[in-house]
Structure 1
Amino acid sequence: MLCLSMTGMASSAMAASNTRAVQKNKAEADRLELQNRLKSLKNDINKTETAKDNASDALAESEKSISEANRSLRDLQTEQSETEGKIKQLAEEQQRIAAKVEKQKNQLSSFLRRQYMRGDSDRIKLLLSGDNPNRINRELQYMSYVSQTQAKMIDALRVSLKAAEKNADDAREAKAELDEIADEEKSHKSALEKEKKRHATLLSQLAEKLYIQKKQADSLEKDEQRLGNLVSQLNKLIEEQAKADAARAALEEKQRQERIAAAQKERARQAAQGKKPAKITNPNAIDADEPPRQAKAETPPPGEFDKLKGQLRLPVKGEIVAKYGSKRADGPSWKGMFIKASEGAEIKSIAPGKVIFADWWKGYGNMIIVDHGGQYWSLYGNNQAVLKHVGDIVKAGDVIASAGNSGGIEESGLYFEVRHQGRTFDPLNWIVVK
């Protein structure tokens, strides 16, 4: 009985051991399969991210090319307008010269006709006539005046004809220049159309991926964080420049004071030696040999932008579809405002200032930032093209960009921010909306 019981227990233990071994092997196989699936998924994710990054880089290059082409077209159109004005002026000048030439020809013809009708003798015949010497002298003097008048009229006509010839040459050159501009403009337009088609293809390829990406709040936060880092870096550069300018000004003032002190010391020495010191009419003046320093183009002084509160205009004509502080459906609140506008619409600077950034920036496309002084900045993003360069001085109302949908957004318009000391605030409190 005992033996049978022992045998049964051993059999049960063996069966349980076999079951555990099978379960262990299955679990190991499942784990291995899961690891392989995860590895494959990671590879797929990496491939997708690489393709997306490559496409994003291509999109950035395309949008920068479109911006540059648009800027070149605008410059060509300005040059074309100036050349057309020049041609118009030359045509008016040509008419004036032609009228003057015709008048001079008529005067000369009338003069010669009168001389012929008078039948005046030449000088030789007059001298040999044996007439009264006094009369001969008067006639000779009169003929001299006539000759001088005739020579002056001929010279004046020659000058006018030469001016007419030069005017015609200038007009031909201007026309050739205008034709050259037109050909160059045609070439730029063709390149722009090709780039726009490539841009449309890239946008189509990226649409789904970018849509998913924009739905993720962390992506928007990263875009804002990158922009915040850019603002911090620009602030730091401006502060460093201000410190450098202040240090340079202090050094120049110190050197000026040292020159004044040296001049006064020399004057005192001359007085002590009994010499008459040189008179100093302006003791604060810098040496006369030093040329006057040219004033630098600076941003408006602090406090000027504060005076514009409630007087600013929207930078572009359009519909405000997102306001400062409103909640995004898929992420953080808006730090600025989005104005829906047609592609290519003119974007104008809201106030005088200096361009401190004009380039493509991830999440904001072709972007331009203007420093208005007093640590006030305005930012214009998602542009089709930026039309100004870093360092350019702009006035209120100057066209600085054209509206678009760069940066991967689906709708054409302008993303607009205003910042003070690097922090955003509601621009609608400063802007008159009509």
Structure 2
Amino acid sequence: MQFQLKTVPQNAQVPSSSFKLKTAATALALILASAWLFPIDQANAQSNRAKEKKQAEATRVELQQKLKALKKDISKTESAKEKASDALEESEQAISEANRSIRDLQVEQQQANERLDQLVAEQVRLTTQVEHQKKQLSNFLRRQYMHGDSDRIKLLLSGDNPNRINRDLHYMSYVSQTQAKLITALRVSLDEIEKNKLAAQETKNELDEIAEEERSHKKSLEKEKKRHAALVGELASKLHAQKKEAASLEKDEQRLSNLVIRLNKLMEEQARAEQLRRAQLEKQRQEKLAQDKALRDKNQQAGQVKSGTKTDGKPNRESEEPKGSMVEHVPQSGMFDGQQFSQLRGQLRLPVKGELVAKFGTRRGDGPSWKGLFIKAAEGAEIKAVAAGKVVFAEWLRGFGNMIILDHGGQYLSLYSNTQAVLKHVGDVVKAGDTIANTGNSGGSEETGLYFELRYKGQVFDPMSWVRK
């Protein structure tokens, strides 16, 4: 809506003072009304944007909480999987021991069977020998029976030639000795056969009993192994599903973050446009008031010199806001006091002394590029805050270990990870040069030192572009 102000002709009749005041007041009221009515649609749109932003923020917070809880569950599942894997490892080791024992027993059984075969062969030999000895003894007794006249008493009383009697007696002595030896050998052979039978049977029974126990133990271990393997498989599937859900949630959260950023930019642009429009309307209102006052003064005080302060209507000019090496210098206590972080470009110092082994944007082996710097340092070295800020995060994070994050205002963040110990708490206010942590290799880092990032509005940028050369 536009208003055109008509000039009064010189020969026209000048209205009365009260009428002119009413006319001016009416015009001023119309201008003010237009100033308030004009932005209604835009204000409604801005209100809708604010509602969308608020709703998106609430949804993002909910997603972050859910993602945090899910990551906690993932950590628990991974811990349970590790325990189940350890139990499975113990079962597999026990089964390996059982298999080794069974194999040793099989070797012993084989050796025992060989000894048993030898004993059986020896028993056959002894049995044959006994049979032969029995046969010899039987033949000897039969001859003795058939030649009863060879009895010693009869021989002595026979009255034969003494030489012959002596020879026969000597012969009969040999026969008696032979008979005694045969009987003794037979008894020894029979005893050995009995001993061999008992030894062979005892050995066989003992080995069979041990082998049965080992087989039973192995069967029990096999069942335990299957149970642990099933648990590991179940936990692995659960972990895979949780990580998949976490990845989906992270994508959702990222989309919401992007939406909030866009809404912030849009609202900032609308706010600037609204501020500029209001400034223009205010300027028009002031000019109209000045014109009305000049007209009233001219009509009421004709011939008098108009007094007042002359202004050129030009706005005041606002001051423009100024826009594998060794790390040897770190922030000193109290540096940059009173300065905003956005003004520190080219003045920062890296947070710890050491060797700069990885720079922003360089390849990380076969993986992604480095998003920050890695400074290799001795374990326990002091890590300094690069600028004043407030601790917004101070705990362990998977992949980063013990980590601390400082908020420097203006949406600037600094991140310090893989530390041995975090020395500050969330909510603590620190100054540049304050010790906030010690270097370490937490989070699975292969080297001891510090991983350092700088972020603006959530996006990483090269810290070296802000470091003093």
TM-score by length of 2: 0.41
Q: TM-score scaled by structure 1?
A: 0.43
Name which one, 1 or 2, has greater alpha-carbon Rg.
2
**Per chain length, whose mean CA-contact separation is higher, i.e. which structure has more relative contact order (CA < 8 Å, sep 6+)?**
1
